[in-house]
Amino acid sequence: MLLVIMFIVEFVKGAILVSILPIYMKSALGISTFIIGWTMAFQYIGDNVFRSPVGWLIDKIGYRPVMLTGVLLTFVSVLIMVTFSHSAWLIVACTLLGIGTSPLWPCVITGATESVGENGSGTMMSVIYTAWLSGVGLGPVVINFFVGETYTLAFRLLLLLTVLCVIVTCFLPAGDKRGAASVKTMWAEWKGKRSKSRQAGSVWSRQLDKIRRYLDEARSSLHVSWAFYPALFAQTFALGLLTPVLTLYARTVLHLSPTQYSMFLVAGGAITVLFLVPVGKLVDRWGTKWFINAGLLLSAFSLLTFPFITQVSVILVLVTLMGIGYALLIPSWNAMIASVIPSEKRGAIWGFFLTIEGCGNVFGPIISGKLWDAIGHRAPFIASGVVLIVLFVLQLFIAVRRQIVVK
C-alpha cells in the first residue's frame, strides 16, 4: 500500500511541479524564472525541513499516523491551488505540498528496508523507484491531456487523486501497538510538563533536544568518509537544477508541442523504469561500484550535450541515454546508502540522509532560475552535467568501514 500511496502522491507532485506550475506561472501570471525557481524551492524546503523529524517520529509511533498526516496536508495544498490563483497562495500551497510529502520517502524506504533487510537492497530500491518514476513520469504526461484554455479540470483531477490517496492511507496496516501507545505517551508527557515549561524551558524545546540527541547518536553509529555527505547533496542538486527549466526549455526553446513533450517524457521515463529492476538484481549480485560510475558518466555526457542539439531525433537519443544512465545510477546509489545504515535506527538515519539530499532539491531550482535569467537557457543543463562529473570524482573517495556490497 505504501507503494500505491507513493505512486499517487508522486503523480500529483510531478504533474504540478513539472507540467502545470512552470508554464502557468510564466505565461498566465508573467512571473520571472527566478521567482518560479523560488516557488519550487519552497516545496523542497517544506519537504526537507521535516524529513529528519519525520524519521524520528516513524521510529517512535510507526508509519500510519505519520503518513496520514502528510497525505492530508497534501490534499490541503492541492485544494488551495484549486481555490486561489494569486502567486502568494501558490507559494503557500507549494510549501504545504512539501511538508505533506516529507513523510513519503522515510516511510516507504524504512518499511521496505525492514521487510527485506540487507539482502536484496538493490532489487528493493529498484521496485521503490519504479513506483516513484511511474508516478513522476505519468503525472506530467497524463495531466497534459486535461490542460486546455484553463487549468481547472487538471486541478480537479489532482484533487480527486489526493482524496483517493487519503482513503488508501486509512487502510495502511496498523502494525504493532507501538504507534498508539507512543502517541499517548508523548501526549501525556506534553500535558504533564506544560505547567512547568516556564521554569524549565518549553516542552517543545525538550522534544527538539530529544530529537537532536537521537540524531547525534544515530550519526555517531555511521562510519563513512568525508566525501559521503557532499555526494548526497550533489546527486539531488544536479536534478534540482533541471526542475524549473525542463518544461520551459522544451516549450519555449525547442518549441515542442505538448504531445511531443509528452513523448520525450515517456521515452526517458519508460527506459529508466524498464532497466531499473534488472539493474537492481545485477547490483545485488555484483555490487554498486561499476553501475554508479557508468550511470554518472552517461548522464553527465547526455546533459552536457543536450543544450547544444536542436534536432528532435538526436534529442530523443540523448533523452534515452539519460534514462539508461539514471537506471544504472538509482538502484546502485541507494543500495550503497542503505548498506551503511544500522538497522536499529533506519527511520532516523534515512530521514537524516534524505534531509541532506533534499538540500540539493532546495538550492537547485533557485540557482537554476538565476542561471537561466542571467546567463541563458543552456546554463542550467551545463551546470547539472558538471555537478554529476564532480559527483563522479567524489564517489571515488567514498569509503565505508564495512563492505559496500549488497549481498
Please compute the mean of the pLDDT values over residues 220-224 and round it to a whole number: 65
In a domain, residue 342? The reply is: yes
Total domain count, the chain: 1
Burial degree of 216 (CB within 10 A; 0-12, 13-18, 19+): exposed
Spell out a b/e string for 170-206, using b for 16 or more CB atoms within 10 Å of the CB, else e: eebeeeeeebeebeeebeeeeeeeeeeeeeeeebeee
Q: Is residue 250 part of a domain?
A: yes
Domain that holds residue 265: 2-172+208-397
> In the predicted model, is pLDDT for residue 221 greater than 80?
no
Range in 22-26, 64-68, 89-93, 97-101 with the lowest mean pLDDT: 22-26
Report pLDDT digits (tens) over 281-313: 888 888 888 899 999 999 999 999 999 988 888
- The percent of residues above 90 in pLDDT, for the chain, comes to 18
Instruction: Confirm whether 276 is domain-assigned.
Output: yes
What number is the average pLDDT over the span 236-255?
A: 86
Average pLDDT over residues 257-264: 77
Q: Is residue 234 in a domain?
A: yes
What's the mean pLDDT when you consider all of the chain? 79
Residue 140 domain-assigned?
yes
Q: For the whole model, what pTM was predicted?
A: 0.67
Is 389 domain-assigned?
yes
Contacts of 5 (CB under 8 A, 6+ apart): 67, 71, 104, 108, 165, 168, 169, 172
Length, in residues, of the chain: 407
Taking the alpha carbons at both ends of the chain, their separation in whole angstroms is 27
- Residue 179 within a domain: no
In a domain, residue 194? The reply is no
Residue-level pLDDT at 212 = 67
Looking at residues 323-346, what average pLDDT do you find?
Answer: 80
Amino acid at position 120, single letter:
G
Give me the CATH number covering residue 165: 1.20.1250.20
Cell numbers for 156? 480537479
In which band, very low, low, confident or very high, does the pLDDT at 234 lie, cut at 50, 70 and 90? very high
pLDDT in tens, 171-219: 877 654 454 445 555 555 545 555 454 444 555 566 567 666 655 665 6
